[in-house]
Protein backbone atom coordinates (compact mmCIF):
# COMPACT_ATOMS: atom_id res chain seq x y z
CA UNK A 1 0.00 0.00 0.00
CA UNK A 2 1.41 3.43 -0.93
CA UNK A 3 2.33 5.90 1.79
CA UNK A 4 -0.40 8.31 2.87
CA UNK A 5 1.31 11.32 1.28
CA UNK A 6 1.39 9.54 -2.11
CA UNK A 7 -2.25 8.53 -1.67
CA UNK A 8 -3.22 12.15 -0.96
CA UNK A 9 -1.22 13.25 -4.01
CA UNK A 10 -3.25 10.82 -6.13
CA UNK A 11 -6.51 12.08 -4.58
CA UNK A 12 -5.65 15.73 -5.33
CA UNK A 13 -4.62 14.81 -8.87
CA UNK A 14 -7.73 12.75 -9.60
CA UNK A 15 -10.22 15.21 -8.09
CA UNK A 16 -8.66 18.16 -9.95
CA UNK A 17 -10.18 20.73 -7.57
CA UNK A 18 -9.40 22.10 -4.10
CA UNK A 19 -10.36 19.78 -1.24
CA UNK A 20 -10.72 20.46 2.47
CA UNK A 21 -8.78 18.45 5.06
CA UNK A 22 -12.05 16.72 5.97
CA UNK A 23 -12.65 15.67 2.35
CA UNK A 24 -9.03 14.52 1.96
CA UNK A 25 -9.19 12.42 5.14
CA UNK A 26 -12.50 10.87 4.03
CA UNK A 27 -11.14 9.94 0.59
CA UNK A 28 -7.91 8.61 2.11
CA UNK A 29 -9.73 6.68 4.82
CA UNK A 30 -7.71 8.18 7.67
CA UNK A 31 -8.23 10.62 10.53
CA UNK A 32 -7.79 14.37 10.11
CA UNK A 33 -4.49 14.59 12.01
CA UNK A 34 -2.83 11.92 9.85
CA UNK A 35 -4.17 13.62 6.70
CA UNK A 36 -2.75 16.98 7.85
CA UNK A 37 0.67 15.42 8.61
CA UNK A 38 0.78 13.64 5.25
CA UNK A 39 -0.33 16.81 3.44
CA UNK A 40 2.46 18.83 5.11
CA UNK A 41 4.93 16.10 4.07
CA UNK A 42 3.60 16.25 0.49
CA UNK A 43 3.78 20.06 0.38
CA UNK A 44 7.37 20.00 1.67
CA UNK A 45 8.29 17.36 -0.90
CA UNK A 46 6.93 19.49 -3.76
CA UNK A 47 8.59 22.63 -2.35
CA UNK A 48 12.01 20.95 -2.55
CA UNK A 49 11.49 19.34 -5.98
CA UNK A 50 12.26 20.99 -9.28
CA UNK A 51 8.72 20.25 -10.46
CA UNK A 52 6.14 21.97 -12.63
CA UNK A 53 3.50 21.13 -10.00
CA UNK A 54 2.92 22.31 -6.45
CA UNK A 55 0.48 21.64 -3.63
CA UNK A 56 -1.06 24.86 -2.37
CA UNK A 57 -3.66 25.91 0.15
CA UNK A 58 -6.42 27.99 -1.43
CA UNK A 59 -9.44 29.58 0.25
CA UNK A 60 -11.51 26.54 -0.78
CA UNK A 61 -8.99 23.85 0.22
CA UNK A 62 -5.77 22.16 -0.87
CA UNK A 63 -4.98 21.74 -4.54
CA UNK A 64 -2.37 20.15 -6.79
CA UNK A 65 -1.74 22.71 -9.52
CA UNK A 66 0.69 23.97 -12.12
CA UNK A 67 3.27 26.43 -10.77
CA UNK A 68 2.60 30.00 -11.84
CA UNK A 69 5.91 30.11 -13.73
CA UNK A 70 4.40 27.61 -16.22
CA UNK A 71 1.17 29.56 -16.93
CA UNK A 72 2.48 30.65 -20.33
CA UNK A 73 2.61 26.98 -21.39
CA UNK A 74 -0.92 26.44 -20.20
CA UNK A 75 -2.23 29.30 -22.32
CA UNK A 76 -0.34 28.21 -25.44
CA UNK A 77 -0.98 24.46 -25.19
CA UNK A 78 -4.52 24.27 -23.83
CA UNK A 79 -7.12 26.26 -25.77
CA UNK A 80 -9.70 28.23 -23.88
CA UNK A 81 -12.94 26.42 -23.27
CA UNK A 82 -15.70 27.43 -25.60
CA UNK A 83 -19.17 28.08 -24.29
CA UNK A 84 -22.18 26.25 -25.68
CA UNK A 85 -23.19 29.18 -27.89
CA UNK A 86 -19.73 29.53 -29.42
CA UNK A 87 -19.55 25.76 -30.00
CA UNK A 88 -22.91 25.82 -31.77
CA UNK A 89 -21.79 28.74 -33.90
CA UNK A 90 -18.57 26.88 -34.72
CA UNK A 91 -20.57 23.76 -35.63
CA UNK A 92 -22.79 25.80 -37.97
CA UNK A 93 -19.73 27.27 -39.68
CA UNK A 94 -18.12 23.83 -40.00
CA UNK A 95 -21.28 22.25 -41.44
CA UNK A 96 -21.85 25.00 -44.05
CA UNK A 97 -18.12 25.65 -44.67
CA UNK A 98 -17.96 28.32 -46.04
CA UNK A 99 -20.97 30.33 -44.87
CA UNK A 100 -21.79 33.98 -45.45
CA UNK A 101 -21.73 35.94 -42.20
CA UNK A 102 -25.30 37.32 -42.71
CA UNK A 103 -26.59 33.77 -43.21
CA UNK A 104 -24.89 32.68 -40.00
CA UNK A 105 -26.38 35.63 -38.10
CA UNK A 106 -29.85 34.72 -39.43
CA UNK A 107 -29.27 31.14 -38.33
CA UNK A 108 -27.69 31.79 -34.90
CA UNK A 109 -28.88 35.29 -33.91
CA UNK A 110 -26.98 38.47 -33.14
CA UNK A 111 -24.98 36.80 -30.34
CA UNK A 112 -23.04 35.05 -33.11
CA UNK A 113 -21.09 38.27 -33.78
CA UNK A 114 -19.31 37.80 -30.45
CA UNK A 115 -18.84 34.06 -31.09
CA UNK A 116 -17.31 34.78 -34.50
CA UNK A 117 -14.76 37.17 -32.99
CA UNK A 118 -13.91 34.66 -30.24
CA UNK A 119 -13.49 31.86 -32.78
CA UNK A 120 -11.29 34.04 -35.00
CA UNK A 121 -9.13 35.00 -31.99
CA UNK A 122 -8.72 31.31 -31.09
CA UNK A 123 -7.75 30.51 -34.69
CA UNK A 124 -10.65 28.11 -35.36
CA UNK A 125 -12.34 30.34 -37.96
CA UNK A 126 -11.10 32.68 -40.67
CA UNK A 127 -13.02 35.49 -42.28
CA UNK A 128 -12.54 36.76 -45.83
CA UNK A 129 -14.33 39.57 -47.61
CA UNK A 130 -16.91 38.57 -50.22
CA UNK A 131 -16.21 39.67 -53.79
CA UNK A 132 -18.89 42.37 -53.65
CA UNK A 133 -17.11 43.70 -50.54
CA UNK A 134 -20.24 44.01 -48.43
CA UNK A 135 -19.87 41.07 -46.07
CA UNK A 136 -17.63 38.13 -45.17
CA UNK A 137 -17.30 34.44 -45.83
CA UNK A 138 -16.56 32.40 -42.70
CA UNK A 139 -14.81 29.07 -42.78
CA UNK A 140 -12.98 26.78 -40.39
CA UNK A 141 -9.18 26.67 -40.35
CA UNK A 142 -6.60 23.90 -40.29
CA UNK A 143 -6.31 24.51 -36.53
CA UNK A 144 -10.01 23.60 -36.20
CA UNK A 145 -9.41 20.30 -38.02
CA UNK A 146 -6.27 19.56 -35.98
CA UNK A 147 -7.89 20.41 -32.65
CA UNK A 148 -11.13 18.51 -33.14
CA UNK A 149 -9.49 15.66 -35.15
CA UNK A 150 -12.56 15.28 -37.35
CA UNK A 151 -10.64 13.38 -40.01
CA UNK A 152 -10.09 10.59 -37.48
CA UNK A 153 -13.71 10.58 -36.26
CA UNK A 154 -15.61 10.72 -39.56
CA UNK A 155 -14.94 8.81 -42.77
CA UNK A 156 -14.19 11.11 -45.70
CA UNK A 157 -17.28 12.22 -47.65
CA UNK A 158 -15.96 10.68 -50.88
CA UNK A 159 -15.97 7.22 -49.28
CA UNK A 160 -19.47 7.76 -47.86
CA UNK A 161 -20.90 8.71 -51.25
CA UNK A 162 -19.27 5.69 -52.96
CA UNK A 163 -20.85 3.22 -50.51
Task: Check residue 76 and give its pLDDT.
Answer: 63
Model confidence pLDDT, tens digit, residues 84-93: 888 889 989 9
Among 25-39, 40-54, 59-73, 117-131, which stretch is predicted with the lowest mean pLDDT? Answer: 59-73
- Provide the residue range defining the domain that includes 46: 4-72
Residue 78 forms part of a structural domain: no
Would strands 136-140 and 125-129 be described as parallel, antiparallel, or unpaired?
A: antiparallel
Q: Which residue, 72, 92, 121, sits at the end of a domain?
A: 72
Residue 36 forms part of a structural domain: yes
> Do 52 and 122 have their domain in common?
no
pTM above 0.85, yes or no: no
What CATH number did the domain enclosing 137 receive? Answer: 1.10.10.10
Residue 5 pLDDT > 80: yes
pLDDT grade for 104, boundaries at 50, 70 and 90: very high
Of all residues in the chain, what percent carry a pLDDT higher than 70?
Answer: 84
What mean pLDDT value characterizes the chain?
84
Mean pLDDT of 144-160: 59
Task: Check residue 62 and give its pLDDT.
Answer: 92
Total structural domains within the chain: 2
More confident residue, 66 or 33: 33
More confident residue, 156 or 37: 37
Q: Which residue, 72, 105, 130, sits at the end of a domain?
A: 72
Task: Check residue 78 and give its pLDDT.
Answer: 59
Burial readout 34-63 (b: 16 or more C-beta within 10 A, e: otherwise): ebeebbeebbeebeeeeeeebbeeeeebbb
Residue 148 pLDDT > 80: no
Task: Check residue 159 and give its pLDDT.
Answer: 45
Residue 103 forms part of a structural domain: yes
SS3 content of the chain, % helix, strand, coil (to 5): 60, 15, 25
Residue 77 forms part of a structural domain: no
More confident residue, 2 or 37: 37
Amino acid sequence: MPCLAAQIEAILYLKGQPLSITEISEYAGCDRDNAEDALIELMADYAHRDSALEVVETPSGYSLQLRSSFQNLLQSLVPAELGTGALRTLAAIALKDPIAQPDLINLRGSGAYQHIQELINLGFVQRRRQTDGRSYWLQVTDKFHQHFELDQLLPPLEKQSQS
